Amino acid sequence: MMEAGDLRPGNTVEKSGELLQVLDFAHVKMGRGSAIVRAKFKNVNTGAVTEETFRPEEKFLRARIERTDAQFLYKDGDSYIVMDSTTYDQFPISEEQLGDATKWLKENDPLYLLQYDGKVLGVELPIAVELEVTYTEPGFKGDTATGGSKPATLETGAVVDVPLFVTQGERIRVDTRNGRYMERVT
């Protein structure tokens, strides 16, 4: 059990039989009154986002999410097939469950499979992925790292802003949390 005052973004709790992930959290002290906790939750099953207010001492059942090594195998229609690296079990995961992760996935990429009570909830990507730039406008002499940026299309189809010196065919590292260019890979 955990108290509402201990909630943090990224935690997953069980409330009224629903599995909720904490998206945002604020501890608020209002004037003479007692403190309250405001939390924004995402229902893991339905995807609905709600904001609720609690007393700091209210209790929640902490949900234990299993995080196992896995590998993205291939896309089959609307499903993405992921294999658990320890048991070699394969799971079809919908595009809705993956969310923005679809922009960074390519075949045979490692990732983490998130499961709760034997049910697959989704995947967690590594913080950074290496992808090849398939198209970008050519740079010109004098382009510098601080001179600006340009859009680049990656091998997965995602488009990110890169510095002007990045050229087509280069491999770059992209942050999967915010979709930003990190560095060139040599």
pLDDT tens digits, residue range 24-79? Answer: 989 888 888 888 989 999 888 777 899 999 888 889 899 888 889 999 999 998 89
pLDDT tier for residue 165 given thresholds of 50, 70 and 90: confident
pLDDT tier for residue 104 given thresholds of 50, 70 and 90: very high
CATH number, span 2-62: 2.30.30.30
Same topology, domains 2-62 and 129-185? Answer is no
Domain ranges of the chain: 2-62, 66-124, 129-185
pLDDT at position 144: 59
pLDDT tier for residue 107 given thresholds of 50, 70 and 90: very high
Q: Which long-range contacts (CB under 8 A, 24 or more apart) does 93-101 make?
A: 93/120, 93/122, 93/123, 96/47, 97/121, 97/122, 97/123, 98/122, 98/123, 100/179, 101/125, 101/176
Q: What proportion of the chain, given as a percentage, has pLDDT over 90?
A: 42
Which CATH architecture group holds 129-185? Answer: Beta Barrel (2.40)
Average pLDDT over residues 102-108: 91
pTM of the model: 0.71
pLDDT at position 146: 60
Regarding the domain delimited by 66-124, which CATH topology (the fold level of the hierarchy) does it fall under? OB fold (Dihydrolipoamide Acetyltransferase, E2P) (2.40.50)
pLDDT at 96 over 90: no
For residue 26, the Cα-to-chain-centroid distance in whole angstroms is: 21
Query: Are 166 and 182 spatial neighbours (Cβ–Cβ below 8 Å)?
Result: no
Model pLDDT for residues 132-160, shown as the tens digit of each residue? 999 998 876 555 556 688 899 999 999 99
pLDDT at position 115: 87
Q: Report the C-alpha gap between 124 and 114 in whole angstroms.
A: 7
Query: Are 157 and 149 spatial neighbours (Cβ–Cβ below 8 Å)?
Result: no
pLDDT at position 140: 65
pLDDT tier for residue 170 given thresholds of 50, 70 and 90: very high
